[in-house]
Amino acid sequence: MEVDRKLLEHVAEVARIKLNDGEIKKFLPQLKEILEFFSKLKDINTDNVKPSFQPVELKNAMREDNEGQCLSQDDALSLTEHKKDAYFKGPKAV
Amino acid sequence: MESVHDFIKKVKNGEIDIVEHTYKLIEECKEINKEYNYLNTISEELALNSASEIKIQVKQNKNIKNKKLLGVAVSAKDAICVRDVETTAGSKILQSYRPLFDAFVIQRVKEEGAIIIGKTSQDEFGFGGFSVNVGKGFKIPKNPFDSERSCGGSSGGAAGLTQKLSSHIALGESTGGSIVEPASFCGVYGLCPTYGRVSRYGLIDFSNSMDKIGSMGKTIEDAALLMNVISGYDKKDSTSLNIKNDDYEKYLKKSVKGMKIGIIKEAFGAGVDREAENNVCPGIEELEEEGAKAEEISLELPIKYGIATYYMIAASEASTNLAKFCGMRYGAVEKLEGSFNEYFTKVRSNNFGDEAKRRIMLGTFARMAGYRDAFYLKAMKVRTLMINEYKKAFKKFDALISPTASILPPKFEDIEKLTPLQHYMIDIMTVSPNVAGLPHLNVPVGFEKNLPIGMLLIADHLQEGKLIQLGSAIEKGK
């Protein structure tokens, strides 16, 4: 596995982060070192082992489909300055 | 030291003027914060309002009889939402965010009459073991015994404040050791419960299959009392365990005669600071004198592969959890310009700190097509093996023991020299019980070079009581 500048820039783009030149120079060797260390997991035999997505056994937690209380429109809009006519305002979509 | 029960009694019978007491505590917090930076926010108004309400209730002798935390000062790690109080998880991207609701644990402590005094400092979103990875513009908390050293992390502010403030209990949070490790560095008790024992509703996620809210106190009694209040089923958290509550206080001072403890062989010796070990051994002897039986056990998988497994899972989950922070609806904003993706990218790039960016990239990479099976899925499978290894050990032992930290609290100048991977390696003792969702406790066992040393006790799922029993026996022997 080759972790290079191109791959790092691609991963950053997927994660919606723009890295400047200094950050790329700093992060690249660090991430290489970390991923190389993590690769040692491949030494463990996990044939026929099921993954544990949770540490304790949990069954599906379903709730009744009942009406509940939710935030008022004013409250929901109270935490941002980007709003207009009772809507959240975002950047241009098209 | 006055026990919290004696304090509550005095509040109830009016011997303590709770408004005056709270005012003094807030002033003490301000004074401590000048040097140590334990609080991102001091919730003075909320605290004094709560105290005034309690004072009226005491006068009228109304609604106070069964309150388990009446007038007790409680702080919350900054990742825990408190209604109308700035809650940032230590990140610039959430600066000025004031939640419209209380986290489950906050709701519970308020119901029991606690007074919320503030939000404690932490590594950004919990990403660190020294509280040096604070978000842009945040201050680094310092060790209460030596301000040139780290207080541990990521619940560093909580641990330091618990040590320094005259009377208070703290709500901490652990994903990979963020309760016990700072507790060890600051010489206090830190109890991290079984995954799912305490609701995560209102906790700002880091790694949702590992995040756990727990308690920190100057005494084991304080930690047990707070755990009693916050544990229990909550329908708002789909991973909350719907099982009967335990009464943790009944394990305090209970005899440990006949209990079996396993000393983790790999946790002593190579790679562990002799000084960190030195004080753990007398702690074990103390338990043996009280009638517990100690024996060595080998746990190779958790010690050898714990770090890689933990960081893979944690980074993968963190990268998805942090995807929601994009400058819309709440939190930091930038000028609205460019396309959606350009706007989100600008907000995230300008407001996340270095470690947040590193973990987002690690996790995004580990979940990408072509790498997912080798990294993310592999770690989830190793987790299964690790849980099995622990379960096997718990057939024989009531609890497992190691030092909590492999080093003494380090100096900031030495931390600066560490690479991120070396930084991760420091968590070697604490990550595996977190990966396996096991309850664990830090017990202060002594001092070396005037710095505190902690013993880590780990128990099987839902056996927090045994940890309290053993911790209480060591506390008694001191």
Report whether pLDDT(B74) > 80. Answer: yes
Give residue B63's pLDDT: 86
Average pLDDT value over all residues in chain B: 95
CB-based contacts of B60, cutoff 8 Å, min separation 6: none
**B424 → chain A, closest CA residue:** A34
B305 touches chain A (CB under 8 A): yes
Residue B206's nearest CA partner among B94, B300, B98, B127 is: B127
Provide the annotated active-site residues of B: 77, 154, 178
**Nearest CA to CA, how far is A86 from chain B (Å)?**
12
Tell me the shortest Cα–Cα distance from A79 to chain B, in angstroms: 5
Determine the residue among B378, B385, B434, B438 to mutate to test chain A binding: the one whose Cβ has the most chain A Cβ atoms within 10 Å.
Answer: B378
List, for residues A2-61, the tens digit of each pLDDT value. Answer: 889 999 999 999 999 999 999 999 999 999 999 999 999 999 999 999 999 999 988 888
User: Measured between CA atoms, how close is B429 to chain A, in angstroms?
Assistant: 17
d(CA B310, CA B6): 41
CB contact under 8 A, A55 and B241: no
Q: Give the residue on B whose Cα is nearest the Cα of A18.
A: B349
**What is the per-residue pLDDT across B128-182, written as a single tens digit (0 to 9) for each?**
999 999 999 999 999 999 999 999 999 999 999 999 999 999 999 999 999 999 9
| pLDDT digits 0-9 by tens, B409-424 | 999 999 999 999 998 9
Distances (CA, A) of B276 to B111, B146, B405, B449, B471: 40, 17, 7, 11, 18
Report the alpha-carbon distance of residue B232 to residue B196 in Å, rounded. 9
Query: Of how many residues is chain A composed?
Result: 94
Chain B stretch 207-236, residues whose beta carbon is closer than 8 A to a beta carbon of chain A: 209-210, 235
Distance from C-alpha of B143 to C-alpha of A55, rounded to nearest angstrom? 32
Structure tokens at B264: 């983790």
- Residues of chain B positioned with their CB less than 8 A from the CB of A79: 97-98, 100, 329-331
Q: What ipTM was predicted for this assembly?
A: 0.95
Give the pLDDT confidence score for residue B167 in this predicted structure: 93
Mutation target to probe the A interface, by most A beta carbons within 10 A, among B83, B321, B381, B424 is: B381
pLDDT of residue B369: 85
Whether residue B1 is predicted with pLDDT greater than 80 in this model: the reply is: no
Instruction: State both tokens at A69.
Output: 């209380």
In A, residues 40-69, which contact B (CB 8 Å cutoff)? 40-42, 44, 46, 49-56, 58, 61, 63
For residue B305, give how far its alpha carbon lies from the nearest alpha carbon of chain A (Å): 7
Between B46-55, B59-68, B247-256, the lowest mean confidence (pLDDT) is in B59-68
pLDDT tens-digit readout, B426-467: 899 999 999 999 999 999 999 999 999 999 999 999 999 999
Distances (CA, A) of B239 to B43, B178, B321, B405: 30, 20, 16, 29
Q: How many CB atoms lie within 10 A of CB A93?
A: 6
- Which CATH number goes with the domain that contains B414? 3.90.1300.10
pLDDT over 90 at B87, yes or no? yes
pLDDT-derived band at B379 (thresholds 50, 70, 90) equals very high
β-pair type (B212-217, B189-192): antiparallel
Whether the per-residue pLDDT at A1 is higher than 70: the answer is no
Would the CB atoms of A92 and B339 count as touching at under 8 Å? yes
Which structural domain range is residue B230 located in? 1-478
What confidence category does residue B112 fall into, taking pLDDT thresholds of 50, 70 and 90?
Answer: very high
Q: Give contacts of A56 with chain B, Cβ < 8 Å.
A: 194-196, 241, 437, 461
Question: What is the distance between the alpha carbons of residues B159 and B218, in angstroms, rounded to a whole number?
Answer: 9
Report how many domains make up chain B.
1
